Amino acid sequence: MAFIVQKYGGTSVGNPERILNVAERIARLKKAGNSVLVVVSAMGDTTDDLISLAREVAGNPPKREMDMLLSSGERISMALLSMAINDMGVSAISFTGSQSGILTDTSHTEARILSISGTRIKEALEKDKVVIVAGFQGCSPEREVTTLGRGGSDTTAVALAIALKADRCEILTDVDGVYSADPRIVKKAKKLDYCSYDEMLEMAWLGAKVLHPRSVEIAKKFEMPIIVASSFNDNPGTLIKGEDMEKAEVRAITFNREIAKVSIVEVPDVPGIAASVFELLSSENISCSFIVQSQSHNAKNDITFTVSEKDFKATMNLLENNLKKIGGREIISDINIATISVVGTGVVRDPRVASRVFKTLAACETNIDLISSSNITLTCVIKERDVEKAVQHLHKEFIINDDAAKLE
């Protein structure tokens, strides 16, 4: 039979009843003759609760101590799930990231996996045990506990599937798969039977919460198929694979509310200014997107970019403390913005896509602030208040109307 890696998210193991449901699913899979390795997230809102606790006792908790604290959530899940599976007559054992041989770099709270030995996992699988691994965590060369950042359990699962040569990786969550839009906003959103790695990667970076982008990046690199499905039913999910379609086709509409726009006004129009700005941000590990430099006027221009909401405060502090050195007149910002994106292989090669996007947004009175594109996405920065109507109108234009046209 198959060697399957499964990952269960926090909602799937959110309470004892759901843990028992997951345990039954795993027991059935094992009894069918499969080798099973399971990665788990922390229960429900445990991670958020732990972050809140930390902020109650410290204004700026050390990142090392945050890793020590947050890694405890997944340890609770793995132990409870292992207990439940054993109680059903199936032999199971749980391992932390360190015990699993997941070696990371030293970047606390945002560590990257360097290698996976998996020695103890292999030994347990050879003894016909179900192995439960705490997601989201690893161990640095200095034997320090590290975490992989929010969504890191997806990365743990895919990395283990690749390192241990699994047949596939299944991400089990509270939705039936990947949808053409957020079903909470668009009632007629449809589940995709498949999507390419590139499409899924863009969707993940642009706000879709189904998979962490890093997990898709490494799945693509090593061609590990991923199935996204629900842990609450047996409906077929979405297969994420490497095949692209030559025909330009919008596959999904995504959005991201967790961003902010920052503009440095009237910086000198001389070589090296942009380099100094982004070197400063890079030193604090702050990533930027939508970078725009205005046309020079009186030997001055503006530099505008977006950052994630979580990095906004640090970005503003950093720039305000260095504004004189940069040479700008002032810094202005806007936190009431969002991005909306149309995603699909080859959409930018078809000039009609951009025209339809802009026409649709104009029709629903949504103003565009910034525009960016890649080979498979067209993304606009808009006001946050306009997100829902923009998503609904673009979904109707590209998904509903195009599907109807195919049937004619």
DSSP 133: E
CB within 8 A of 215, min separation 6: which ones?
151, 154, 155, 157, 158, 159, 171, 226
Residue with the two structure tokens 């047996």: 234
DSSP 206: T
Instruction: Give pLDDT, residue 330.
Output: 93
> In the structure encoding, which two tokens stand for residue 117, read together?
């030995």
Instruction: Give pLDDT, residue 408.
Output: 41
Q: What is the C-alpha to C-alpha distance for residues 50 and 66, in angstroms, rounded to an integer?
A: 9
CB-CB contact of 154 with 215 (8 Å): yes
Q: What is the C-alpha to C-alpha distance for residues 257 and 336, in angstroms, rounded to an integer?
A: 8
Q: What is the C-alpha to C-alpha distance for residues 327 and 268, in angstroms, rounded to an integer?
A: 6
Q: Which of these three, 128, 147, 174, is where a domain ends?
A: 174
Residue with the two structure tokens 């199971």: 92
Q: What is the C-alpha to C-alpha distance for residues 188 and 190, in angstroms, rounded to an integer?
A: 6
Opening angle at CA 162, ends 158 and 167, nearest 5: 95
298 shares its domain with 407:
yes
Residue 203 lies in a domain: no
CB-CB contact of 393 with 364 (8 Å): yes
Residue 209 lies in a domain: no
141 shares its domain with 286:
no
Tens digits of residue pLDDT in 354-386: 999 999 999 999 999 999 888 788 999 999 999
Over 60: is that where the pLDDT of 245 sits?
A: no
Q: Which of these three, 111, 140, 174, is where a domain ends?
A: 174
249 shares its domain with 396:
yes
Residue 104 lies in a domain: yes
CB-CB contact of 193 with 239 (8 Å): yes
E-strand spans in 126-215? 130-134, 137-139, 145-147, 168-173, 194-196
Instruction: Give pLDDT, residue 243.
Output: 65
Q: What is the C-alpha to C-alpha distance for residues 311 and 255, in angstroms, rounded to an integer?
A: 18
CB within 8 A of 209, min separation 6: which ones?
none
Residue 202 lies in a domain: no
Residue 401 lies in a domain: yes
Tens digits of residue pLDDT in 211-220: 888 999 999 9
Q: What is the C-alpha to C-alpha distance for residues 241 and 105, in angstroms, rounded to an integer?
A: 28
Tens digits of residue pLDDT in 281-302: 998 889 898 898 888 888 889 9
Give the CATH number, domain containing residue 300: 3.30.2130.10
Give the CATH number, domain containing residue 39: 3.40.1160.10
CB-CB contact of 84 with 109 (8 Å): no
Q: What is the C-alpha to C-alpha distance for residues 56 and 161, in angstroms, rounded to an integer?
A: 38
Mean pLDDT of the chain: 92
Mean pLDDT of 67-83: 97
Residue 349 lies in a domain: yes
Over 60: is that where the pLDDT of 85 sits?
A: yes
Instruction: Give pLDDT, residue 407.
Output: 38
Share of the chain above pLDDT 70, in %: 97
Q: What is the pTM of this model?
A: 0.81
Over 80: is that where the pLDDT of 390 sits?
A: yes
E-strand spans in 126-167? 130-134, 137-139, 145-147
Over 60: is that where the pLDDT of 406 sits?
A: no
164 shares its domain with 284:
no
7 shares its domain with 124:
yes
Residue with the two structure tokens 């221009």: 301
Q: Which of these three, 152, 174, 196, is where a domain ends?
A: 174
170 shares its domain with 24:
yes
Residue 287 lies in a domain: yes
142 shares its domain with 287:
no
Tens digits of residue pLDDT in 102-138: 999 999 999 999 999 999 999 999 999 999 999 999 9
Tell me the residue range of the domain where 125 lies.
Answer: 3-174
Cα separations (Å) of 143 from 73, 101, 102?
A: 19, 11, 11
Q: What is the C-alpha to C-alpha distance for residues 115 and 302, in angstroms, rounded to an integer?
A: 43
Q: How many domains does the structure of the chain reveal?
A: 2
Over 70: is that where the pLDDT of 74 sits?
A: yes
288 shares its domain with 390:
yes
Instruction: Give pLDDT, residue 210.
Output: 83
294 shares its domain with 149:
no
CB within 8 A of 208, min separation 6: which ones?
178, 252, 254
Tens digits of residue pLDDT in 153-211: 999 999 999 999 999 999 999 889 999 998 888 988 999 998 889 889 888 877 777 88
Residue 228 lies in a domain: no
3-state secondary structure of 220: helix
Share of the chain above pLDDT 90, in %: 76
156 shares its domain with 274:
no
Greater model confidence, 403 or 318 = 318
Opening angle at CA 271, ends 269 and 272, nearest 5: 110
> In the structure encoding, which two tokens stand for residue 297, read together?
């006027």
